[in-house]
Amino acid sequence: MSIKISETLTFECETGNYHTFCPISCVAWLYQKIEDSFFLVVGTKTCGYFLQNALGVMIFAEPRYAMAELEEGDISAQLNDYQELKRLCVQIKKARNPSVIIWIGTCTTEIIKMDLEGMAPKLESDVGIPIVVARANGLDYAFTQGEDTVLAAMAHRCPDRELAPAKESQEIENKSISKNKISLVLFGSLPSTVASQLGLELKRQSINVSGWLPAQRYTDLPILGDGVYVCGVNPFLSRTATTLMRRRKCKLIGAPFPIGPDGTRAWIEKICSVFGIQAQGLGEREQQVWNNLKNYLDLVRGKSVFFMGDNLLEISSARFLIRCGMIVYEIGIPYMDKRYQAAELAFLRTTCNGMCVPMPRIVEKPDNYSQIQRVRELRPDLAITGMAHANPLEARGISTKWSVEFTFAQIHGFANAKDILELVTRPLRRNNNLGNSNWTDLVKET
């Protein structure tokens, strides 16, 4: 099945299964971002083992998440779900006293039709703590879409511009940047340092960010409503974007995403254009970053890369690597909202034209077997893939990089473009070292 967007941009859909990391892993970065939160994952022991093993290496402090493990009695409806969840939430309140408890639904809660959304309001009233319900099951969602469902659920809890107390209304007016008292809210979970960097870049253009979704504290959620402009920083947040537009009446700024110096410049320029501001100094800022990346660019120029599809960052990453001089054979992606990523897709086409290279093949929901065959035929210099396929491809002589690493790395903004190329070039540099060194040298280096 093919869907032609234009003469140069064609999508294919192979309707394969999602071969991605489990979306409940969004807990790993969200619990650290929302400092006064507690995440309760409702699932089986398998979910608990996954979180324990997959996230254990990322825990440097006592985590604020837990498992509500479903036993046979729960699954066969012999136990009272409400009473069990209430017992756990009371225990969490007593031990941690968070500002919000976020329930994460899993595959099992979907299969047994557990009514988490129905139980949450009553339990919230009984326990006295806000309870937000988000579905992050691997049946319906790819890896990073777990964050999308959480932020979409939290968007409903943000204060309304029309109903905000007078003091808060005055504060948002003071932060406004135009005669019409409009404000800008950014959505997407980023480390605080990266969020600050993007905020400073906008401030240089006389644009103040009114708030972030998610905020660093649940009690500081941004004010939303008519007259509030919103802009995303990640390409996997289409559900959140839809919720902000349809339910909260915000105006979405459709921009490429701030990944790579080219994407960051385009993102800032689009926001400036919406607010009627002429962007200043971005060309020089971008060129300075490209100059600092020269050693990396010399290494990747002319090399080929194949995206198998995992974290929904593929379009933005491919666009940046094409701008760096790489050849992208195929962009596999588990799911893509063509409306939310419209600006990014247009920017990809513009980048390909500017670099005088053909548009790469874009495959949504790639069939695993067919894609592996294409990788083996094309023999790219690098395959960016989920962890399940990395070792088998390496055994067949294909260098790989885990796509999950791009999710956890700091890749947004001008300052972090180097980190993207550091990830991409690591396997390429390893291959160069293997080709130029003997076994004794490598042992000494190790």
Q: What is the share, in percent, of the chain residues with pLDDT greater than 70?
A: 87
Q: Which two tokens stand for residue 195?
A: 């969020």
Band (pLDDT 50/70/90 cuts) for residue 429 is confident
**What is the rounded CA–CA span in Å between residue 75 and residue 333?**
33
Domain 283-439 is of which CATH architecture? 3-Layer(aba) Sandwich (3.40)
Instruction: Give me the CATH topology for the region 166-280.
Output: Rossmann fold (3.40.50)
**What is the rounded CA–CA span in Å between residue 373 and residue 389?**
12
**Residue-level pLDDT at 141:** 86
- Mean pLDDT, residues 50-70: 71
Kindly write down the DSSP assignment for every residue of 88-142, as one continuous string.
Answer: HHHHHHHHH--SEEEEEE-HHHHHTT--HHHHHHHHHHHHTS-EEEEE--TTT--
The pLDDT tens digits of the residues spanning 343-399 come to 999 999 999 999 999 999 999 999 988 999 999 999 999 999 988 889 999 999 999
Band (pLDDT 50/70/90 cuts) for residue 443 is very low
Write the CA distances from 408 to 191, 386, 399, integer angstroms. Answer: 10, 14, 20
Q: For the chain, give the mean pLDDT.
A: 87
Among 89-93, 202-206, 428-432, whose mean pLDDT is lowest? 428-432
Peptide bond just before 258 cis, omega within 30 deg: no
The pLDDT tens digits of the residues spanning 138-191 come to 888 888 999 999 999 999 999 997 776 544 545 544 444 333 457 999 999 999
Our measurement of the distance from residue 410's CA atom to the centroid of its chain's CA atoms, rounded to an integer in Å, reads 11
Q: Which two tokens stand for residue 179?
A: 């005669």
The pLDDT tens digits of the residues spanning 234-251 come to 999 999 999 999 999 999
**Residue-level pLDDT at 224:** 96
Q: Say whether pLDDT at 316 is over 80.
A: yes
Among 118-132, 150-164, 285-299, whose mean pLDDT is lowest? 150-164
- Mean pLDDT, residues 329-338: 94
**What is the rounded CA–CA span in Å between residue 404 and residue 275?**
35
Q: Say whether pLDDT at 57 is over 90.
A: no
Residue type for 249, please? K
Q: What Rg do the C-alpha atoms of the chain give, in angstroms?
A: 23
Decide which of 3.40.190.10, 3.30.360.10, 3.30.2320.80, 3.40.50.1980 is the CATH code for 23-141: 3.40.50.1980
**Residue-level pLDDT at 439:** 35
For CATH 3.40.50.1980, list the domain ranges present in the chain. 23-141, 166-280, 283-439
Write the CA distances from 93 to 64, 100, 149, 395, integer angstroms. Answer: 12, 9, 24, 49
Our measurement of the distance from residue 386's CA atom to the centroid of its chain's CA atoms, rounded to an integer in Å, reads 15
Strand arrangement of the beta sheet that strand 131-135 belongs to: 65-69, 37-43, 100-105, 131-135
Residue type for 82, please? Y
145-155 helix and 238-246 helix, angle to the nearest 10 degrees? 20
404 or 74: whose pLDDT is higher?
A: 404
CA count, 13 A, side-chain hemisphere, 328: 32
Question: Do residues 101 and 120 make contact, with C-beta atoms less than 8 angstroms apart?
Answer: no
Q: Which two tokens stand for residue 103?
A: 């329930």
Query: Global pTM?
Result: 0.89
Q: Answer left, alpha or beta for residue 332, where phi above 0 means left and psi between -120 and 50 means alpha.
A: beta
Q: Say whether pLDDT at 416 is over 50.
A: yes
Write the CA distances from 269 to 285, 318, 417, integer angstroms. Answer: 13, 21, 18
